[in-house]
Amino acid sequence: MNLNLNPYKGMRDFYPEDQKIFNYIFDNLKEVVKSFGYKQYNAPMIESEELYLSKSSQEIVNEQTYSFIDRGNRKVVIRPEMTPSVSRMVAAKRKSLNYPLRWYSVPNLLRYERPQNGRFREHWQLNVDIFGEESVLAEIELINIIYNIFKKFKASTSDYTIRINSRILIENVLDDLGVSKENYLDVFRIIDKKNKIDSKSFKEELGKFIKNPINIEDLLQFLEINNLEQIPTKYKEGSSYQNLYQIFSYLKLPNLVFDTSIIRGFDYYTDIVFEVTDNDPANSRSIMGGGRYDHLIEQLGEDNLPIVGFGLGDSSFFNFLSGHNLIPKLENHNTLGVLLIGNVYEGSINLLNQLRDNNIDTVVNFSNNKIGQKIKWALREDLRYVIIVGENELKTNKYNLKDLLHSTQEELSIEEIIRTIKK
Amino acid sequence: MNLNLNPYKGMRDFYPEDQKIFNYIFDNLKEVVKSFGYKQYNAPMIESEELYLSKSSQEIVNEQTYSFIDRGNRKVVIRPEMTPSVSRMVAAKRKSLNYPLRWYSVPNLLRYERPQNGRFREHWQLNVDIFGEESVLAEIELINIIYNIFKKFKASTSDYTIRINSRILIENVLDDLGVSKENYLDVFRIIDKKNKIDSKSFKEELGKFIKNPINIEDLLQFLEINNLEQIPTKYKEGSSYQNLYQIFSYLKLPNLVFDTSIIRGFDYYTDIVFEVTDNDPANSRSIMGGGRYDHLIEQLGEDNLPIVGFGLGDSSFFNFLSGHNLIPKLENHNTLGVLLIGNVYEGSINLLNQLRDNNIDTVVNFSNNKIGQKIKWALREDLRYVIIVGENELKTNKYNLKDLLHSTQEELSIEEIIRTIKK
């Protein structure tokens, strides 16, 4: 039987050359969040369906989850995002944790989406949250982390834009335009689609909740605001404006902009929301996004807890980095190749132990291939150094250390080889 | 609505204190396999159901998979093990890969099992494979890696036992006892249950495939063999015995034993199989196991490729380490706590940048709490060093560096603080 050898639709195989880039990206991401004192956690792949109902995003829960009935007749969901899981974990120990908490995770998440560029059915996400901080300093720290992530990967502030908005500010505007409180989320979902649908459909959708056409025009005008100063004076008195103002004045980033059309897709956001976009229009999906969600712990039945968090998906961030040539050539030059000639494996065990005990990563080729084939194998493996080991070498402790990068060679003892490679 | 805040049945939440131990274990495991030149890969969480049919283990596929129909009407399975996925990946690039391949992965795997000690519905596994090596040197390398894993965690060879067997040897015995070739797998599945069922049921089960009671007794006697020398002479001529002999003579490990009852649960193994058990009977599950599976790539429709691999599950290995007191206290002493007094966050941004630019992980407490509470917070976070930062400190560049471990303090400039912590 010939099986289809492709990965399941919309998911990816990571061959070692792909995984190497993946690890480069996530190792660096982890270093940045650890430098701010964040601690890693994890949660199960599977959660009960009720954890997501009316808390996450209608679109995700109704159309995009992998959900099924398990063998014990439970309605379950493979996690499509991490926020509900981490909120459940914090709620479960609400009273005993040491606030403020700074937590991060790097889960794989599954969504049943139409596969397209930068959007897969399985993706990995860096999730970063602060729990228990009411003040806007929490938002400022997270946006500062985002800035430091891009700096870590040597991106310039002209490569990307951090867009920020306040849902409370938009709610105040909607209130003045006659939208009732119970329809705020409906209108948010429409605003969130603004750049994905044409302007006629956009107005029609808004018309379902804003009866007066003049009010629709007022809202459209408000959604064009991209500068704090343009906010009408009457909205400048609320805490939202004060918070936004503080973010801008503390961070002074040239690529931080105010953008009234930023809403984010999740229902649980309560105030400040932000997302990062690539300045190269070819990579149109947002690279990361987040915001404040102060009521999710309450919704899970525990005392209220203020939270701010963001998530960064692997594929749109990879597209950003590769589009701006920010992925370096990742070499395999620190591994020594040991190519055996003849039946010498048993005799070389001590040599191999000595190398590994001296922290030299050592890969042995003990196949039956000829030495020429073994050298070709080493070149394809991108090994820089190899030694050829036969009975004579083992007897004399003199090995020919070949530097395949510079096409040079030198006869050295094993101790000298260890010193050379460590340099 | 009050939601159940526990994780889904049989799965685990990893709070930061749990994740720290998890990372300690897997960071060290990765270091060992990297020192042998193995490269990381990954595969999707979901595979088509047909990948597992008649290749994996009847018990797992029929009773223990999370399988469901996706929104596109495909029969799919959440991966219960990694071998079929990695074999699919290698088969897909059968002709273009650079053999021998040495690959590893650390996937999360899901099985619908009855939760019990050391057995969860989601677990993480270190998977290690060599592809394209016919000779027993591949088995020798993998068992040597296993020995080095235990050495890395400072386990003694008296803490654990490596048990090894050859399925071909057992097949030869079964052949002599009148078992037909098509029943080998059935008998293997019975032998694999030997220690889980009573001896009466065991004999009854064997009786389905071995009609003569004397032959059953002969098999039982053979399954008691725990030394290569006890193998009847007529079986010493085959390659199985030669391979086993070579493994023992090359590795000379005091805790490597020959055990004819070791079979392993997967149908795809073709010859040498091995597993590691804890010498403490309280931890009765095998800690890791593996073997040679030379025909899986062929079964996927590609040219044959010899493969040897093993898997190590996180929970039984954790039980081993904690049972032998091999998990050290993992401290958080390299992170500096910065406790702010008053409204000084904006003024301290440069200070924080300077610390992080000098590779000091720095966590800021900017909450409204009193300083006493902030110190308590730092102690609970297990921070060793904290500085208290108010307007005066920022003006004078003199900070009180408290060493919470030794209850001492010293007034230092930020440059001196950086030097002190780096020591």
Taking contacts as CB-CB distances below 8 angstroms, the residues of chain A near B66 are 46, 68, 70
Do A259 and A395 have their domain in common? no
- Low-confidence spans in chain A with pLDDT less than 70: 1-2, 54-58
Does the beta-carbon distance from A5 to B88 stay under 8 Å?
A: yes
Compare all CA atoms of chain A with the CA of B30 and give the residue at the minimum distance: A361
Q: Which of B290, B323, B356 is the last residue of a domain?
A: B323
Q: What is the CATH number of the domain that holds B135?
A: 3.30.930.10
Q: Are residues B25 and B73 in the same domain?
A: yes
Closest in B72, B103, B364 to A16, CB measured: B103
Which of B1, B3, B97, B358 is the mutation pick for testing A, counting most A CBs within 10 A?
Answer: B3
Q: Are A161 and A276 in contact (CB under 8 A)?
A: yes
pLDDT at B195: 82
Smallest CA–CA distance, residue B35 to chain A, in Å, is 4
Amino acid at B195: N
The two tokens of residue A411 are 């006869």
A9 domain-assigned: no
Chain A: closest CA distance from residue B342 (Å): 13
Query: CB-based burial of residue B96 (10 Å sphere; 0-12 exposed, 13-18 middle, 19+ buried)?
Result: exposed
Asked if B367 reaches chain A (Cβ–Cβ under 8 Å), the answer is: yes
Chain B residues within an 8 Å CB radius of A418? none
B411, B417, B420, B421 alpha-carbon torsion, rounded to 10°: 130
Q: What is the pLDDT of residue B423?
A: 80
The CA-based dihedral angle spanning residues A85, A87, A89, A91, taken in that order and rounded to the nearest 10 degrees = -150
What pLDDT was estimated at residue B44? 98
- Suggest the residue from A1, A42, A375 to mutate for an interface test with chain B (most B CBs closer than 10 A): A42
Closest CA to A98 of B328, B403, B367: B367
Provide the shortest C-alpha distance from residue A264 to chain B (in Å): 25
Domain C-terminal end among B323, B348, B374: B323
Chain B residues 331-350 with CB within 8 Å of chain A? 335, 337, 345-346, 349
Evaluate if residue B1 carries a pLDDT over 60: no
Residues of A in contact with B19 (CB under 8 A): 39-42
Read off the amino acid at residue A242. Q
Pair (A204, A139) in one structural domain: yes
Most A CBs within 10 Å: which of B69, B367, B384, as the mutation test of the A interface?
B367
Phi, psi (deg, nearest 5) at residue B257: -125, 150
Nearest CA in chain A to B43: A13
Residue B319 and residue B283 in contact, taking contact as beta carbons nearer than 8 Å: yes
Residues of B within 8 A of A366 (CB-CB) are: 133, 135, 137, 141
Average pLDDT over chain B, rounded to an integer: 93
Q: For residue B157, what are its two tokens? A: 């060879």
Residue A8 lies in a domain: no
User: Residue B58: pLDDT above 90?
Assistant: no
Question: pLDDT of B248-281, one tens digit each?
Answer: 999 999 999 999 989 888 888 999 999 999 999 8
Residue B110 and residue A44 in contact, taking contact as beta carbons nearer than 8 Å: no
Measured CA to CA in angstroms, residue B58 lies from A210, B189, B225, B264, B266 at distances of: 60, 9, 28, 13, 8
Closest CB to A15 among B41, B66, B135 = B41
Contact at CB, B68 and A68, closer than 8 angstroms? yes
What residues of A are in contact with residue B56 (Cβ under 8 Å)? none
* Residue of chain A whose alpha carbon sits nearest to that of B376: A98
Contact flag A6-B92 (C-beta cutoff 8 Å): yes
Contact state of B19 with A40 under an 8 Å Cβ cutoff: yes
Asked whether residue B87 is domain-assigned, the answer is yes
Q: Are residues A102 and A229 in the same domain?
A: yes
Hey, is the C-beta of B91 within 8 angstroms of any chain A C-beta? Answer: yes
Task: Give the residue, B353 or B57, on which the prediction is more confident.
Answer: B353
What pLDDT shows up at residue A208?
Answer: 93
CATH number at residue A374: 3.40.50.800
Mean pLDDT of B52-58: 72
3-state secondary structure of B385: strand
- Residue of chain B minimizing CA distance to A151: B357
DSSP state of A183: G
Nearest-by-Cβ selection for A16 from B40, B68, B144: B40
Determine the structural domain holding residue B361 and report its residue range: 335-422
Q: Which of residues 262-301 of A touch B (CB under 8 A)?
A: 299-301
In A, which residues are within 8 Å of B48 by CB distance?
4, 8
Q: Are residues A155 and A291 in the same domain?
A: yes
User: B376 and B312 in one domain?
Assistant: no
Section B338-343 average pLDDT: 94
Residue B123 forms beta bridges with which residues? B109
Same domain for A93 and A242, yes or no, is yes
Is A330 domain-assigned? no
Asked if A245 has any chain B CB less than 8 Å from its own CB, the reply is no
- Tell me which chain B residues have a C-beta less than 8 angstroms from the C-beta of A130: none
Q: A–B: how many Cβ contacts below 8 A?
A: 231
Structure tokens at A29: 């991401």
Looking at residue B266, what is its pLDDT? 81
Handedness of CA B207, B209, B211, B212 (dihedral sign): negative
User: Are residues A46 and B380, on separate chains, in Cβ contact within 8 Å?
Assistant: no
Return the beta strands (E) in B238-396 as ranges: 256-258, 272-278, 288-292, 307-313, 335-340, 361-365, 385-389
pLDDT-derived band at B56, boundaries 50, 70, 90: low
Q: Is the pLDDT of residue B347 over 60?
A: yes
Side chain identity, residue A313:
G
Chain B (151-210) residues lying within 8 Å, Cβ to Cβ, of chain A: none
Of B5, B20, B36, the CB nearest to A92: B5
Q: Indicate if the alpha-carbon torsion angle A80, A81, A84, A90 is positive or negative.
A: positive
Q: Would you say residue A84 lies in a domain?
A: yes
Q: Could you give the CA distance from residue A206 to residue A359 in angstroms, rounded to a whole number?
A: 64
Do B103 and B30 share a domain, yes or no? yes
Portion 57-86 of B in contact with A at CB < 8 A: 66, 68-72, 74, 76, 78
Is residue B419's pLDDT more than 70? Answer: yes
The whole-number average pLDDT for the span B215-226 is: 92
Torsion angle of C-alpha atoms B164, B167, B168, B174, degrees rounded to 10: 120
Residue B44: its chain A contacts at CB < 8 A?
7-8, 11-13, 122
Return the DSSP state at A4. P
Angle (deg, nearest 10), helices A345-357 and A414-422: 40
Within a domain: A384? yes
- Do residues A93 and A219 both lie within one domain? yes
Q: Does A354 share its domain with A278? A: no
Distance (Å, whole) CA B129 – CA B306 = 10
Q: A10 lies in a domain?
A: no
Tell which of A294, A323, A352 closes a domain: A323
Residue B2 has pLDDT above 80, yes or no: no
Tell me the chain B residues in contact with residue A18 when contact means C-beta distances shorter than 8 Å.
41
Q: What is the mean pLDDT of residues B18-45?
A: 98
What's the DSSP call for residue A384?
S
Collect all residues of chain B within an 8 Å Cβ-Cβ radius of residue A137.
345, 366
In this prediction, residue A56 carries a pLDDT of 65
pLDDT in tens, B181-196: 999 989 998 998 888 8
Same domain, B25 and B121: yes
- Indicate the DSSP class of residue B407: T
Decide if B359 and A35 are in contact by the 8 Å CB cutoff.
Answer: yes
Interface predicted TM-score (ipTM): 0.94
The verdict on a CB contact (< 8 Å) between B15 and A41 is yes
Of A321-325, B234-238, B360-364, where does mean pLDDT reach its minimum? B234-238
The CA-based dihedral angle spanning residues B168, B172, B174, B178, taken in that order and rounded to the nearest 10 degrees:
150
Question: What's the gap in Å between the CA of B257 and the closest CA on chain A?
Answer: 19
Contacts of B20 in chain A (CB under 8 A): 39-40
Asked whether the CA dihedral A124, A130, A132, A136 is positive or negative, the reply is: negative
Same domain, B60 and B118: yes
* CB contacts, 8 Å: A350 with chain B: none
B100 CB within 8 Å of a chain A CB = yes
- Count of domains for chain A: 2
